[in-house]
Structures are given as C-alpha cells and as structure tokens.
Amino acid sequence: MNVLSNLEPAEVFQYFEEICGIPHGSGNTRAISDYCVEFARNHGLRCQQDAANNVIIWKEGTAGYEQSAPVMLQGHLDMVCEKEADCDIDFEKDGLELQINDGVISAKGTTLGGDDGIAVAYALAILASDTIAHPPLEVVFTVDEEIGMLGAAALDASPLRSRRMLNLDSEEEGYLLVSCAGGIATKAHLPINRETVSGQRIKLKVDGLQGGHSGVEIDKGRANACQLLGRTLYQMQDDVTFQICSVQGGLKDNAIPREATAELVLTGIKGTESGNPGGALSILSEKIKEWTGIYREEYQITDPGVCLTLESIGEGPQNDVVRPEETTKIMTMLQCLPGGIQKMSFAIEGLVQTSLNLGILKTTEREVTASFSIRSSVETEKKDLVARIRCLMESLGGSVSSKGEYPAWEYRQDSPLRDKMIEVFREQYGREPVVQALHAGVECGLFAGKLPGLDCVSYGPDMKDIHTPKESMDVESVRRTWEYTLEILKRLQ
C-alpha cells in the first residue's frame, strides 16, 4: 500500500500499514497471529503462540538493563469490523484501504483498527530495534478483545515474569488509565414460530445515526438504532395491524448500532373489521414522517441525521411471518429491555458506573436474539442487569445466556509505574496528565487477576470515533506517544 511511507516514526507506520493489509477482525485472527510469530522468527526472538492465537514474544534487556525487572508491552490483535453501507470490502479476506488527510489517518468506508493495531505496531517497532534502550521485554498480543476479552481470559500467564505492564489500548493522548469497569456479554433469546399470512410486506429502517464505542460514547446521549426500532414497532400497533417477519441491527455488542431494520406484513388498519393493507401503508407512511420529526427533535444534538424509512416489498401470501402472539412478545422485549446508562458514579465525577448496550439484534428461523455488552465497576450491579434481562425474557418464554465475563480493574493506591509515567509526561509535555478511571473495559483487570501484584497503566495516541467507519488516528499524536513510550522504557531500569 505504502500510503503511510512518508510518515514518522517510519518504523511504527510501516508495521501499522502491514497490519492493516491483513484481515484481523475479531474471531478471524489466525493470519495476524501467524504474522507476529513470523516476525519473531525473522528477528531471532523467542516466541509462544497458543491455541487461541495469543502470542508472547520475549526480548532481552539492552546494555545496562540486563538485570532490570522485565516490563510487559500489551495490546490486542483484533479489530472491530464496521463499514458504510456502500462499501464492498470483505473483512474476512480483504485488507483496509488507508487514506491520510491533514495529518489524520483513516480507512476508506471502514473502521481503521487503530484500536488496537497501533499498539501492535509500537511493540513490533521496539522489538525490531537495536538502538532503543529497554529492560527485558515480554510483549503480549491477545485476541478477540473486542468480543469479550476472550484471548486474555484464555491466556496462560504462568510464563510471564513481568509485574509492570504498559497497556497501549487507550484512545486519548494525555490520559493515563488506571482503573476500569468489569463486563459481561449477555444474549437474550426469544423462541418464535412462523405461519403464512397475506398482506403488504414492508421494510422499516432506522439509520443515519453516529453509533460509537459503548464503553466510551455511552454517555454521549447517542441513539441506539435497535432500541429506536423497537420503540417504533411498539407505537405502530396503535394505528395499524401487522406481524413481524424479522428484526435485525448492529454488528458488535460493544458498538452502539447505527442502523436497524424490520421486515413486516401489514394486514390492516387498527380498529377496522376488514383488512386494508394498502390503506394501512398510507397511514403508516404519514406516521413515519411524524416519528422521524420527533426523533430528530429528541436527538437534535447527538444524532440530527436520524431517519426512518419505509420500503414496500410486495403484496400477497407471505410464508415466513411470526405468529401474532410472538410478534407482541418481540415488541415487548424490544420496548422493555434496559439500555444505556443505568447509574453514574458518586465517587468519581462524570464516570459512568453501570451501563448496557444492545449491540446486535438478529432473527433466525426459530428465534430472535438481542446481544448486550454490560459494564459496571460494581460487581453486584453487573449481575443485577443480567438478572433484569433474565426476568423479562423468562416472563416472555425466553432465556438468557452469557459469556466473556471479565473483572473490574481496581485502582491501585501505590503505583511506582504510574508515578514514573506522570513524571515523564510532565517533562515531555510541560503539563500534568489526566489520571482517570474509565467505563470502557481494558484487559488490565484480567492480567491483574492472573499476575498478583501487577502494576499497570493504559494509554495511547489520539483516536476518534473508534468502532465506526469514521474512525481516525492523529499522526502527530502517534509520534509523541512513541517518544513518550521510549522514554518510559528508558527510565524503567
């Protein structure tokens, strides 16, 4: 590609561009994992790859650092794969199309994967260098972080000696993350049965939303397309009669959905004896205009482009229609499932304490599922949200499953690493860094649980709109963060 070949630091952007050329979405990490193993072999470095595709690479300390305590550099290999509707990239086999404008890197029509490809690029550039001063290094690349930190959970940490860890998985320069929420991925299951029904088949679509990372942007007041779809369906029953064929929306449980759709069969007008699908479509078209105006008013600051559209697909017998009683259950589920911020922290001003995001809505032949990313810095509140979802689903004849649970990363009062990083930051930037707790999950909590006494800090360069096709990364911030990282390693003698 060579789009980034003129940027500095050259070695970092070289590796980042190579990474972007390899498909590495969550669940599709074998190729990027093998790339890291081949890198280690080519540089004569000891390496370990496990069955999950996690990779550990070791490098001895440089001259004068041979006896220093080891340091871990850590990031994840997978990226969130989101794209614009008109983008034809196949994330399973295609690389990204990089572009750079005014010192900002992005990918054409897709997510960039700076989260967390830049961490991998930093680490590989350090490992490849013969001139960078550093203690013994343990570089740990995990997989499937974006779908529940599955790689970190599966990692055998027994070979690791480091008790100091630099996690390069944050997206705001000048912020040192020292604590984060725990989380769990929870899926609601609602069984359905189908029948043949005659009527007007339509497609209802919600789009025009910003979306975003459910751990970072959940407090920005952005609309969730799946929830708006449910709200719209629930309102529709006051004016027309219909049955659902399918509801779909979102791609990742930790990404706020930007669009969602429902296919329906209109059967008549509410309160009338005889069916009139054509008249129902006319009434519904007017209501959709009204509701679009309401939603734009409600989200005029955060999602002014929100849009509802109707498309007529055809009329006549439809053989994949969900039965009336189960159509009602789908609407009840979508209207009543909790979403967004549930509680703010009273201990840390501005910090979201507990939230959940309905990130994936899917319909199969036999069930409708709603997948959530639940986050909380309070373990009991996290469990209570799972219980609330289970309570609703069981009352509707459904069920709940969970996976990928990870613990909260608790604040460490005594942190020599944090103190050293504050000192270096102050000298390099001439100001104080922001030391913060974050609602979004990072892998530090899992590593802290596996490695007693671990002292770790998460940081990174400026990135915007991660987990969306608007994702971007600032070149100068990458350079400054590189220099900051090298100075930290130099001071950890």
Active site residues: 78, 145
- 428 touches 483 (CB < 8 A): yes
In this structure, the strands spanning 182-191 and 255-256 are unpaired
Rounded-to-integer distance, Cα 372 and Cα 449, Å:
24
